Amino acid sequence: MSKIKSINQEAIAGYLFILPNFLGFLVFTLIPVIFSLILSFVKWDILTPPEFIGISNFIRLLGFHKEAGAIIPNDPLFWKCLGNTIYLMMIIPIEIMAALVLAILMNQRIKGITLFRTFYFLPTITNGVAICLLWAWIYNYDFGLLNSLIIKLGDFLGIPLKGIPWLTSVKWAKPSLMLMGLWTMIGGYNMILFMAALQNVPRELYEAASIDGANAFQKFWSITWPMISPTTFFISVMAVIGGFQGGFMQAYIMTGGGPERSTTTLEYLIYNHLYSWQHAGYAASIAWFVFLLIFIITVFNWKFGGKLVQQYHY
Amino acid sequence: MEKKLKMSVTEKIKKLFDRTFIYAILTIGAITMVVPFLWMLSTSLKSYSSVFIFNISDIKWIPNPFYFKNYIDVWKVVPFARFYINSLFVTSCVTLGQVFTSALAAYAFARLRFPGRDKIFFAYLATMMIPGSVTMIPVFALMRVFGWIDSYKALIIPAIFTAYGTFLLRQFFITIPRDLEYAAKIDGCSLWGIFWNVVLPLSKTALATLTIFVALGNWVSFMWPLLVTNSIEKRTLPIGLAYFQELYQHAQPNWGLLMAGSVIATIPLIVLFIFNQRFFVEGIKLTGMKG
C-alpha cells in the first residue's frame, strides 16, 4: 500500500517538475509544429481569416507548367533560392577540412596554443551583425580594404588591377559570402571539436605505426581519419542542417538578398514571404520543404555515413 | 629521457623544421583572423570624411588624427544604451528561465517514473530536428493574437522553452550516480530537497555549459527579435546595430560610427571568453559529443 502511494507521489512530482517546461514546449513548439503543417495548406496574410486551399501552396512551390513550349517552374524565385542555398553550401566541405587541418596543427604540442586558439575563435564570439557590417565595409567597392590591397598589389607588380565589385555583382556576391563564411567558421566550434577528437586518439597507435615505418601521410589516413570519423560525421551532418537554414543575416545586412536575388537563401525567402509579403501559408510550406530536405539528408547520412563510421569503430 | 638521447641530429633538424613550418602556417592564419578586427578598430577611430579617400590605395591604418568622438556619438545617434540594456535584460531572463525549467524537466525525465514519461520525452526529441522557421511562423502569428508584438514578453517567453536544454541536462543527469540521492532520501530529504541540494550542485558543469550556450545564442539572436519588435525602444543589440545601417539608406554609411558600435558590442564577449576560455572549450566538447 505504501509503495503504491509513494509511486503515485513520485508520478505527481514528476508531472509537477515537467509542468513549466512542458507547458511552454506545448504552446511554443508542439502546437506550432502542428499548426504550421495546417498553415502550409492555407492562404493567410495573418490579418484576415485563413482560407483553405488544399495543396495549392505545394503545387506553386514544386510544380511546373508549360509556357511558350518551354517547361517553366511555377515559382522560379523559389528554385533560384534553393540553388543559391546549395551554391553557398559548397564552402562547407572546405570549412570542415580547413578546421581539421588547423586542429591537427594546433595539436602538435607547441607553445602558445591558447593564444592561437583565441585568435581563431574571435569571429565565433563576435556578434554576427558586427561581422556582417565589418565585411560589408571590407568588401566596399570604393573605399574597402580588399580593393585597396588589390590596387596596391597592382601598383607593386606594375599592372593596373581593378577593384572587384564584391557584393554588388552577381558573379562575386556568392563567393564573397562564402569567403567570409570560411573566415568565420574555420577556428570555431568545429576546430575545437576536432582538437578534442584528436586528443582522444590513443598515442600507442601512432607509435606502433612509426615502428612499422609509416610516414605522416599514411598515419593520417590509416589512424587519424578513421579514429576521428564520428566527429567528422557529426560536424558534417550539423553543418548541412545549418546550411539549409543559413544566409539570413548576411542577406538582410550585407546584400538585401541581391544583386538580382543572387544571395537570397531559402531562409531569407521564408522571412520575406512571412513578413514583407504577408504570405504566412506559403512561408510555412517552404519551411516544411526545408524540413523534408534536412530529414532526407539526415536519414541518408545515418544509413550510409553511420555505417561507414561503425565499420571503423566496432 | 632515453628516447631523447637516441634522437639523431638529422631527426632534431627535421623536428625543428617541422615546428617552424607549423608556426609559420599558424601565424599566417592568425594574422588573417586578426587583420579584419584591426581594420574594425582602425575605422572606428576615423571621422566620417576621413574614411572616404580619393585614391583607394592611400588607406591609412593608423588614424590621423585619432577620432575618439565616434565612441561618444554612438550613444547619441541611436539609443545604443537602450539596446544594450534590452539585450542584457532579455538574455538574463531567457537564460535563467531556460536553465531553471530545463533542469526541472530534465530531472523528471532522468529520474522520476510517471505514466507517459517516455512518450513525452520522445516528443521533445522529435521536434529537435525541425527547422526553427517551421515553428517560428505560427509563433509569430500567436504573438499577434496575444498582442505581444513589440513587447519584452515576445522577446523572452517563447525563447525560454527549448527541447535542446532539457535534452542536454537530462543526458547529464542520468550519468550522476544514484547513491547520493538514495542517501539523501534515507535522511528524509524531500524530492525537491534532493533536486535542489544534491542533483543541482553535482551538475555545476552541465548547468554552466547550458548557461553559456543559451546566453550566447540569445545575445546574438537576430531573426526573432527582428520579427517581433517594431519600435526603437524594444530593439536588442544586434537589431540595433543593423538599425545603424538603415539610417543611411542611400548614402555611404558613417563607417567609423558603425565600427565603433561593432567594437562596443563585441568587446564584452571577447573579455568573457578570454577569462573563461577553458569553460567554453569544455562546454563545446560536452555539447558536441552528446548533442
Mean local confidence (pLDDT), B263-286: 80
Instruction: For residue A314, name the pLDDT band (cuts at 50, 70, 90).
Output: very low
Residue B289 has pLDDT above 60, yes or no: no
Q: Exposed (0-12), middle (13-18) or buried (19+): which is B93, by Cβ within 10 Å?
A: middle
Residue A1: its pLDDT value, please? 46
Residue A100: its pLDDT value, please? 94
Instruction: For residue A2, name the pLDDT band (cuts at 50, 70, 90).
Output: low
Range picked from A68-72, B85-89, B194-198, B252-256 for highest mean pLDDT: B85-89
CB contact under 8 A, B105 and A119: no
- CA A72 to chain B, closest CA, distance in angstroms equals 27
Residue B1: its pLDDT value, please? 46
Instruction: For residue B103, name the pLDDT band (cuts at 50, 70, 90).
Output: very high
List beta partners, residue B116: none
Residue A311 has pLDDT above 70, yes or no: no
Residue A130 has pLDDT above 50, yes or no: yes
List beta partners, residue A42: A52
Q: Which residues of B touch A137 (CB under 8 A)?
A: 39-40, 43, 255, 258-259
One-letter identity of residue B88? L
Residue A174 has pLDDT above 80, yes or no: yes
Mean local confidence (pLDDT), B2-15: 69
Per the CB < 8 A criterion, the answer to whether A298 and A241 are in contact is yes
Per the CB < 8 A criterion, the answer to whether A59 and A48 are in contact is no
Say how many C-beta atoms besides its own lie within 10 A of residue A90's C-beta. 12
Q: Where are the alpha helices (DSSP H) in B52-79?
A: 70-77
Residue B86: its pLDDT value, please? 93
CB contact under 8 A, B274 and A118: yes
What pTM was estimated for this model as a whole? 0.87
Residue A173 has pLDDT above 80, yes or no: yes
Residue B291: its pLDDT value, please? 38
Instruction: For residue A265, name the pLDDT band (cuts at 50, 70, 90).
Output: very high
Per the CB < 8 A criterion, the answer to whether B98 and B161 are in contact is yes
Residue in B161, B244, B261 closest to A28 by CB: B161
- CA B79 to chain A, closest CA, distance in angstroms equals 17
- Please tell me the least confidently modeled range out of A113-127, B90-104, B143-157, B272-286: B272-286
Instruction: For residue A5, name the pLDDT band (cuts at 50, 70, 90).
Output: low
Q: In 3-state terms, what secondary structure has residue A307?
A: helix
| Contacts of residue A265, Cβ cutoff 8 Å, sequence gap at least 6 | A81, A84, A85, A88, A246, A247, A248, A251
Per-residue pLDDT tens for A208-258? 888 888 888 888 888 889 888 888 888 888 898 899 998 999 999 998 887
CB contact under 8 A, A280 and B29: no
- CA B30 to chain A, closest CA, distance in angstroms equals 6
Q: Which of A26, A29, A44 is best to mutate for the B interface (most B CBs within 10 A)?
A: A29
CB contact under 8 A, B138 and A35: yes
CB contact under 8 A, A127 and B262: yes
Mean local confidence (pLDDT), B151-160: 93
Peptide bond into B65 cis (omega under 30): yes
Q: Is the dihedral of CA B283, B289, B290, B291 positive or negative?
A: positive
Residue B247: its pLDDT value, please? 75
The terminus-to-terminus CA distance of chain B in angstroms comes to 41
CB contact under 8 A, B284 and A142: no
Residue B243: its pLDDT value, please? 84
CB contact under 8 A, A128 and B274: no
Q: What is the CA radius of gyration of chain A?
A: 25
ipTM: 0.85
C-alpha cell read off for A196: 578534442
In angstroms, the CA B42 to CA B39 distance is 5
Instruction: For residue B157, name the pLDDT band (cuts at 50, 70, 90).
Output: very high
Per-residue pLDDT tens for A266-284? 999 999 998 889 888 999 9
CB contact under 8 A, B39 and A138: yes
Q: Which residues of A touch B239 (CB under 8 A)?
A: 129
Q: Which residues of A touch B281 (CB under 8 A)?
A: 117, 192
Instruction: For residue B4, name the pLDDT band (cuts at 50, 70, 90).
Output: low
CB contact under 8 A, A33 and B123: no
CB pairs under 8 A between A and B: 274
Give whole-number Cα distances, B109 to A8, A10, B33, B130, B169, in Å.
16, 12, 43, 21, 10
Per the CB < 8 A criterion, the answer to whether A120 and A103 are in contact is no
Q: Which domains does chain A have, with CATH numbers?
A: 2-60 (no CATH), 76-313 (1.10.3720.10)
Q: Is the dihedral of CA A126, A130, A136, A137 positive or negative?
A: negative
Interstrand relation of A70-73 and A64-67 (parallel, antiparallel or unpaired): antiparallel
Interstrand relation of A64-67 and A51-52 (parallel, antiparallel or unpaired): unpaired
Per-residue pLDDT tens for A34-92? 999 999 999 888 788 888 888 888 988 888 888 888 888 888 899 999 999 999 999 99
Per-residue pLDDT tens for B34-72? 999 999 999 888 887 777 776 766 777 888 788 888 888
- Please tell me the least confidently modeled range out of A65-69, B170-174, B245-249: B245-249
What percent of chain A clears pLDDT 70, i.e. is strictly above it? 95
Residue in B129, B142, B223 closest to A248 by CB: B223
Residue B260: its pLDDT value, please? 92
Residue in B36, B56, B191 closest to A13 by CB: B191
